[in-house]
Structure 1
Amino acid sequence: MNESVIPSKRLAAGLWAGLFLLALGVRLLGVAWGLPNTEHYYSYHPDEWLILLASYFTINPYAGEFLPGFYNYGTLPMYLWSVWLHWLSAVGVIGGLPENPTPLQIAELRAQLYLWARVLVGLMGAGTAVVVGRALAMVGGLPAGIVAGLAIALAPALVVHSAFMTVDVPTTFFVALAFYQAVALATSPRPMRTLLWGAFWAGCAAGSKYNAGLVLIAPVVSLWLSGVFSLKTRIGASVAAIGVAGLTFALSCPGVWADSERFWSHFWYEVRHVGQGHGEIFTDTGVGWLYHIHPNLSTGFGAIGLLASLVGWAVFGRRYRALWGVLAASLAYYLLIGVAEVRFLRYTFPLFPALAMGVGLLWASRSADSRLSRLSGTWSGMLFKLLALAVLLWQLLSATSLALCMRRPDARDQAAAWARRELPKGTRIGFPTVPWFYTPPLFPETGELRWQDRLRAAQSATRYRLIPLAPPEWNAEALSVTLPEYLIISEFEERDVQRLGRADYQAFMQIVNTRYALERTFTNEPPLLGRKPSLPHDLLYICPQVKVYRLRAP
């Protein structure tokens, strides 16, 4: 790159700081979404309570307590949350509990813990944007890096999930750090140290989510493409990188050796789970690789973003050997997750850094390559840049729309408020499944982990007579016998069984359509772009529809 066009360090630092603040700001818009309150004692995200149990109520690194006893996920994010939350508790930012706390006081503590844990996730999500941007800037120039960073900062799915206490955004942060080292290795004055740092971050990624350890491919490929070392040195360095990654994983997830029986039980359960499916959510959804493209990535990163990234990598990526390790690791990860039967959108997050780099490549400096320099100076070069800007504009609209959705009254809260306002005490209200996070909070324990506890709590509610018509779910016989005055059905319960045309659902709904009238439909649609019918399951968390049916007069 021509030295005369290299921006000043002060300007570059200001741009990176601005990128970080923008990414953090849009993430914090939804940080208070679904927090426990007087109406529901648990978060509206179904995974957060289990993770909080492990991170705060089970482990405490300050007290030497490191084994959560829960290993479906890697434990590194749990340690980070534990250190962060226990420190905030020690300095008084997070309040404590009285000696004999009430359920509401415990819920209020949960709300504080979730909020601050989500802030840490938001910081890591914003950091991911800067790391990805700076990685591409090393080879493509500052403008390309800023564009790539913006493509991470504004990616709608990352924005939403940065407001959840889950492992997916922290995993992506560590993936980005490993990619940074892989890119830096090509020009590093100390390539071996850079390689081992890449291996360290790959071990951290595996310690957050096991299959993310494939990111180790990136720095190792960069090593083999460097052309500086002998074959013997490359083999030895590769073995050392694998060793560092493995050691980092063992330290960040000590259950593998300190609680090995339980660790391997949970690990193989998770392997079986992703191989067998997740209820009906992904049944008959076609080929996994195609499903991850649409609806997952086309919604979470943007269809135009996928197109732009493909163009960037195809036209310009081959000119930057330092990026080939990033591409190789991302392709390996994509091939792996496409085989699985469980296909959540969040599983694609480790692909986002490479996708963002592809968008940024459309703005990369081509001064060192005469062919690409001529191309970038023509009308086609302007079209490439306009394509990248179109990606960022769509992402901005989509991310803002979803973030605003997280700030507005949730459909579950709307339905519960309507019921308290309109329905007299003692009204008989039925549900097709055992109430859970997707159910309007007509009793506060909807987020309990065990369905038996939720069933018991629903049946013990006093304001209304709540009647879960399950198990089994969609029990037409139970509905025909009890005929509650109202039925409440969440989109989470209905969407997939309706899509599959399940027989018990059809029998249940035949009675509903005959004996009931649709009273109200409660929604909280993203305000700017609306909502696609194919919205991925783990974006539906923030905007499910809730339908209320009323029993017709005989």
Structure 2
Amino acid sequence: MSFDTMTKSPQPARKPIPAAIAARRSIPAAMAAHAPIAAILLLALLLRLDGLGFGLPALNDPDEPLFMMTAIDMLARHSLNPQWFGHPGTVTLYGLALVMLLVAVLGIARGRFADASAFAGAVYADPGIVFLPARLFIVASGLACVWLTYRIGRRLWGRRAGLAAALVLAVNPVHITWSQVIRTDMQASAFMLACVLCAIAIHRQGRLRDIVLAGLFAGLAVATKWPAAAILLCPLCAGLSAGLRARRPGGLARALLVVPVAVAALLAVSPYLLIDHATVLRDLTAEARPMHPGATGHGFLGNIAWYGEGPLAASFGVLGLVAAVGGAILAAWGDRAWRIAVCPGFALFLLVVSTQHLIWERWLVPVLPFLALGLGWSLDRAVGAIASWRGRLAGQLALLALLALVLTPMLATVGQRAEERRHDTRQLASVWLRGHVPPGSSILVEHAAIDLLRGPWTVLFPLGSAGCIDARAILQRRVSAPEVEKSRGGQPVVDLGHVAPALIDTCRADYAVLSHYERYRAERATYPGEYARYADLIAGGRVVRTFAPVAGQVGGPPVEIVRLRKAR
């Protein structure tokens, strides 16, 4: 026995810490670990709630009412058949129907509505009753995108890269804009990201469970928006790579299993794609139009340039976009999981949307998380290099400086877009009309100006083959989505330019509020018939007020209020 052993008093054995106490001690550590992403999600939520009720009770987005009316029709018919498959939008429509059902049940339980019929009547009189909760549903999908982007970045490159990517997406102005609009893009993007997360797991472990989950999420994504099918390339490439590395019998066949699983998930969620295939073909034909006023494409290279100079530059700023694209490319050079399990699907998706005849900002929504991850990689590598060179404190200071450099222009654009939503040309026109149009007058409007229905006027709305109809009367009898689609006749826009020529006289009113006229005036060589309808209606009239959009201050399209000549 050594001298030290003899002289040291024996130490009492430590008692094991009870599990309950250990769990309580771990709670603060867990909270601290999750605090950064929780703060980012809170910031994302606050930015997406700002101005969420834009326009209401008027409906500024032309497609929001069609989605909501389709969901209302499903509830009224007690049917799961949407009878519309243009996007196809099935998952979103089911979600919207569920939101409406919950609002109705709560409203009836609290005595706000006497029954389902009273609820439907109240909704047609004030769409905000269901539109605001429905927009919250889309906001939740946007938050899911931020969370999944964090998970992907953390899984690939670590916590710092994941947090940076999530923060970039949280403050992305284009992502915020389309998180507030009732459409399919945000929900499809969330399913695509969930599929990518599974693809990364397939690449690393090659488990059957992850293959099945990837197929499930891919099927849900396609049932929400057709072009999301491109994301299947991620688990396919990941599975084939894992099978080749493992060299196990049947590995390649198992990787291909993701395709039938996705198809099965698609048809399980939307069986009416088969049952009502004639409607599917009709709607797909209508969606595949070659031209759209103000949104006709410029060919593949022209579309790429438009997306880069427009939505993407607005999303990230020029410096941020360069860092995002550069990061995505450089990460693919050195990270096999990113190159095989992530890049193929997003690259194919971008290729698909860039080869379309039309160009829309919202089509880039699924690409934004991918570029946010590229930017997160760039920030993480830059900070890591500085920290290894000058120390940890220098790295932390560099991270703050780089974030400020990248996020400042993005936040400036966020503020400008929020201001534009609060001051829209269409709502400014309504304010002017309420102060200047005598009671008993008739007003023709091209947008869903439900805010004017409370005034002492007759409000007319153009509806294709139905001519210009009394908006108050058609809402009171609760017009259905199929009726609107039938009158629309597959035309891209519901406006004066697409009213049946023989019915143009039904549109003659005392005043006309024209929110689409400028598009046709700018492209009258392409749309001579549509422009002629405007020219015929306003001939001899007088423009009494114009509201033009101002960047960072006033949003919406150019609006002209015309005092029309009296009909002969």
Alignment TM class, shorter chain as reference: 0.7 to 0.9
Among 275, 298, 302, the residue aligned to 1:287: 302
1:107 to 117, 120, 124: 124
**In the alignment, does 2:431 pair up with 1:417?**
yes
In the TM superposition, 1:134-533 aligns within 5 A as 134-188=151-205, 191-226=207-242, 228-230=245-247, 232-270=249-287, 272-273=288-289, 276-279=290-293, 281-282=295-296, 287-324=302-339, 325-364=341-380, 389-406=404-421, 408-425=422-439, 435-437=445-447, 442-443=452-453, 450-452=463-465, 455-457=468-470, 488-490=513-515, 492-495=516-519, 497-498=521-522, 519-523=544-548, 525=550, 529=552
2:497 and 2:529 in contact (8 A); partners too: no
Please report how far the alpha carbon of residue 417 of structure 1 lies from its aligned counterpart in structure 2 after TM superposition: 2.2
TM-score of the two chains, using structure 1 as the length reference: 0.77
Give the structure with higher Rg (CA): 2
Q: What's the secondary structure of 1:343's corresponding residue?
A: coil
Residue aligned with 1:456, SS: strand
Tell whether the 8 Å contact from 2:162 to 2:376 is kept in structure 1 after alignment: yes
After superposition, residues 29-108 of structure 1 pair within 5 angstroms as: 29-36=50-57, 40=58, 43-59=59-75, 65-74=79-88, 75-92=90-107, 95-96=112-113, 105-108=122-125
Q: Counterpart amino acid of 1:142?
A: R
Cα contact 1:410–1:523 (8 A) shared by 2: no
> In the alignment, what sits opposite 1:539?
none
Question: How far apart, in 2, do the equivalents of 1:171 and 1:447 lie?
Answer: 35
Does the 8 Å contact 1:412/1:440 carry over to 2? Answer: no
Hey, what's the Cα distance between the residues in 2 that align with 1:473 and 1:204? Answer: 37
Q: CA deviation at 1:507?
A: 8.3
Shift of 1:397: 2.0
Paired residue type of 1:212 = A
Q: What amino acid sits opposite 2:373 in the alignment? A: M
Determine the C-alpha separation between the residues in 2 that align with 1:447 and 1:82. Answer: 29
Q: What is the deviation of 1:237? A: 2.0
| Aligned mates of 2:437, 2:385 — CA distance in 1 | 74
Paired residue secondary structure (2:187):
helix
Deviation at 1:426, TM superposition (A): 5.6
Q: Which residue identity does 1:124 align to in structure 2? A: S
**Superposition pairs of residues 119-138 of structure 1, within 5 angstroms:** 119-138=136-155
- CA separation in 1, counterparts of 2:529 and 2:466? 25
Could you tell me how far apart the structure 1 residues matched to 2:499 and 2:396 are?
57
Residues 452-506 of structure 1: per-residue CA shift (max 9 Å, x gap): 5571217999xxxxxx99567899xx99xx998766432x331353156666799
Give 1:123 shift.
0.9
Aligned to 1:547: 560
- Counterpart Cα distance in 2 of 1:130 and 1:346: 20
Going from structure 1 to structure 2, the CA distance change for 1:398 and 1:82 (only over 3 Å counts) comes to same
Q: Residue 39 of structure 2 aligns to a residue in which SS?
A: helix
1:388 to 1:179, Cα distance in 2 relative to 1, 3 A: farther
Per-residue deviation, residues 267-288 of structure 1 (Å, max 9, x unmatched): 3433x32xx2224531658733
CA contact (8 A) 1:143 1:364 kept: yes
Q: 1:96 to 1:439 in 2, by over 3 A?
A: closer
Match of 1:535 in 2: none
Give the Å deviation of 1:436.
2.4
Q: Decide whether aligned partners of structure 1 residues 513 and 456 sit closer, same or farther in structure 2, where only a CA change above 3 A counts.
A: closer
Q: Render the CA deviation track for 1:223-279: whole Å, top value 9, x for unaligned.
A: 333464227533212221111111111112211223223223323433x32xx2224
Give me the CA root mean square deviation: 4.3
Structure 1 residues 105-146: Cα deviation after superposition (integer angstroms, max 9, x where no partner) = 342463211111111110110111011111111122212111
In structure 2, give the amino acid aligned to 1:418.
W
> How many residues are treated as equivalent by the alignment?
506
CA distance in 1, matches of 2:291, 2:114: 40
> Structure 2: how far apart are the matches of 1:280 and 1:474?
21
CA distance in 2: counterparts of 1:495 and 1:471, whole angstroms: 10
- Given that 2:460 and 2:470 are in contact with CA atoms closer than 8 Å, whether structure 1 keeps it comes out as no
Shift in alpha-carbon separation, 1:454–1:400, aligned structure 2, 3 A: farther
Alpha-carbon separation, structure 2, partners of 1:45 and 1:438: 9
Determine the structure 2 residue equivalent to 1:465: none
Per the alignment, residue 35 of structure 2 pairs with: 14
The residue number in structure 2 matching 1:26 is: 47
CA distances 1:425-461 after superposition (whole Å, capped 9, x unpaired) = 46676x6xxx322769655797979335571217999
Q: 1:366 to 1:548 in 2, by over 3 A?
A: closer
The worse-fitting range, judged by mean Cα deviation, of 444-453 and 166-175 is 444-453
The amino acid that maps onto 2:246 is F
1:357 offset after TM fit, Å?
0.5
Q: Are the aligned partners of 2:420 and 2:553 in contact in 1 as well (CA < 8 Å)?
A: no
In 1, distance between residues paired with 2:409 and 2:141? 23
Residue 183 of structure 2 aligns to a residue in which SS? coil
In the superposition, relative to structure 1, how do residues 516 and 159 fare at CA in structure 2: closer, same or farther (>3 Å)?
Answer: same
Letter in 2 for 1:201: F
Kindly, what percent of the aligned residue pairs are identical? 20
Would you say the 8 A contact 1:280–1:497 is kept in 2?
no
- Please state how far the C-alpha of 1:97 moved relative to its aligned partner: 6.0
8 A Cα contact 1:131 1:177, kept in partner: yes
Relative contact order: is structure 1 or structure 2 higher (C-alpha 8 Å, sep ≥ 6)? 1
Gaps spanning 5+ residues in structure 2: where? 1-27, 475-493
Is the Cα contact below 8 Å between 1:447 and 1:454 reproduced in 2?
no
Would the aligned equivalents of 1:292 and 1:345 in 2 still touch at CA under 8 Å?
yes
CA contact (8 A) 1:522 1:546 kept: yes
- Checking the alignment, whether the CA contact within 8 Å between 2:460 and 2:469 is kept in structure 1 is no
Deviations 1:11-66 (A, max 9, x none): 33122222222111211112211223xxx5xx222112221122233148xx9731
Which letter maps to 1:70?
Answer: W
Q: 1:97 to 1:106 in 2, by over 3 A?
A: farther
- Residues 329 and 382 of structure 1: CA distance in aligned 2, closer, same or farther (over 3 Å): farther
TM-score, reference length from structure 2: 0.76
The CA distance in 1 between the partners of 2:389 and 2:338, in whole Å, is 22
